[in-house]
């Protein structure tokens, strides 16, 4: 890991934020806040860490990614488009009837999507199954999952956490996007899930607590996770809902609201981009 690599990933994340904003504006539907909070982690995975092949999405040697908080699909879609799984022009078809880019990831429609997600609480269980299957096959591939902190309110998450530790799934690494907000307001007020790091540690996971927008910390945590043996790793990423666009940040009202015509140029300016639409 060097400064050039980190700078390149930071720029990639900035570009992906621009794509998220433009995509959501075009669709006038979708989830802005949680897509922007998660994109630094997704950028590090798809453009530095994960083994994957856009020319062969089902390549057996690939690493797997499960977007457990499936409503943040725009973050996944912009990364897949940037990586070459489908043309970037397709992003403008987000949530349109008949499009392969629906509101939640669909593995039957979208190249690069491993599994359908969006019913919160189920993603980590599916990631467990993938990790167990890969181990049975003697594969060196790894499984990465990304959960939201509001999603931790689902009991199935903790059943999956217990199972992953019980079976020693050291080929599994889960990001927890702790942006502290969900559609109904503050996570702490709806149903407090803290202390997140202590809970995963108590369930038998290796835990790494980081700033989820610090690319150096993200990459270092992923490298550390790859070296862990005998247990899964949870990277607890402290993030900002709507990160990168000042007037979206830390506002639950932008959980599932797309940028308006008036907001688009202001949002792009925040991201260092001119509006040419």
Q: Where are the domains of the chain?
A: 3-270
R_g over Cα of the chain: 17
The whole-number pLDDT of residue 275 equals: 66
Query: H or E segment at 175?
Result: strand 172-178
- 53-58 contact pairs (CB < 8 A, 24+): 54/80, 54/83, 54/84, 54/85, 54/111, 54/112, 55/84, 57/85, 57/111, 57/112
3-class DSSP state for residue 195? coil
pLDDT in tens, the chain (277 residues): 699 999 999 999 999 999 999 999 999 999 999 999 999 999 999 999 999 999 999 999 999 999 999 999 999 999 999 999 999 999 999 999 999 999 999 999 999 999 999 899 999 999 999 999 999 999 999 999 999 999 999 999 999 999 999 999 999 999 999 999 999 999 999 999 999 999 999 999 999 999 999 999 999 999 999 999 999 999 999 999 999 999 999 999 999 999 999 999 999 999 998 666 5
Residue closest to 132 by CA, chosen among 166, 169, 174, 173: 169
Topology of domain 3-270 in CATH is Rossmann fold (3.40.50)
Exposure pattern of 21-49 as b/e (b: 16+ CB <10 Å)?
A: bbbbbbbeebbbbbbbbbbbbbbbbbbbb
Return the H-helix or E-strand segment holding 197: helix 196-202
Minimal CA–CA distance to 222: which of 15, 35, 42?
A: 42
Contact criterion met (CB below 8 Å) for 64 and 57: no
* C-alpha–C-alpha distance, residues 73 and 100, integer Å: 12
Helix (H) or strand (E) holding 16: helix 3-27
HEC assignment per residue over 44-98: HHHHHHCCCCCCCCCCCCCCEEEECCHHHHHHHHHHHHHHCCCCHHHHHHCCCCC
* Secondary element (H or E) of residue 211: strand 206-211
> 27 near 73, Cβ under 8 Å?
no
DSSP 3-state assignment of 165? Answer: helix
pLDDT on residue 276: 63
Q: What is the pTM of this model?
A: 0.97
């Amino acid at each position: 890991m060097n400064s050039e690599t980190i700078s390149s990933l930071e720029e990639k994340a900035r570009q992906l934020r621009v794509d998220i904003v433009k995509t959501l504006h075009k669709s006038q539907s979708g989830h802005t806040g949680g897509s922007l909070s998660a994109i630094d982690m997704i950028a590090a995975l798809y453009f530095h860490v994960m083994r994957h092949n856009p020319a062969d999405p089902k390549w057996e040697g690939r690493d797997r990614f499960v977007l457990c908080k499936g409503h943040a699909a725009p973050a996944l879609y912009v990364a897949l488009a940037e990586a070459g799984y489908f043309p970037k022009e397709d992003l403008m078809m987000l949530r349109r009837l008949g499009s392969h880019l629906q509101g939640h990831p669909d593995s039957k429609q979208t190249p690069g999507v491993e599994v359908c997600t969006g019913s919160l609480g189920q993603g980590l269980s599916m990631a467990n199954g993938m990790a167990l299957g890969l181990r049975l096959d003697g594969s060196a591939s790894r499984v990465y999952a990304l959960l939201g902190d509001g999603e931790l309110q689902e009991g199935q998450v903790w059943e999956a956490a217990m199972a992953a530790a019980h079976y020693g799934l050291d080929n599994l690494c889960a990001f927890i996007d702790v942006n502290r907000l969900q559609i109904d307001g503050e996570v702490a007020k709806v149903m407090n899930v803290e202390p997140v790091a202590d809970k995963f540690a108590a369930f038998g996971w290796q835990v790494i607590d980081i700033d989820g927008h610090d690319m150096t910390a993200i990459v270092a945590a992923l490298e550390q996770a790859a070296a862990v043996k005998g247990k899964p790793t949870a990277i607890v990423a402290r993030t900002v809902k709507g990160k990168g666009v000042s007037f979206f940040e830390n506002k639950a009202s932008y959980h599932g609201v797309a940028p308006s015509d008036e907001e688009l140029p202001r949002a792009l300016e925040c991201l260092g981009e001119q509006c040419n639409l």
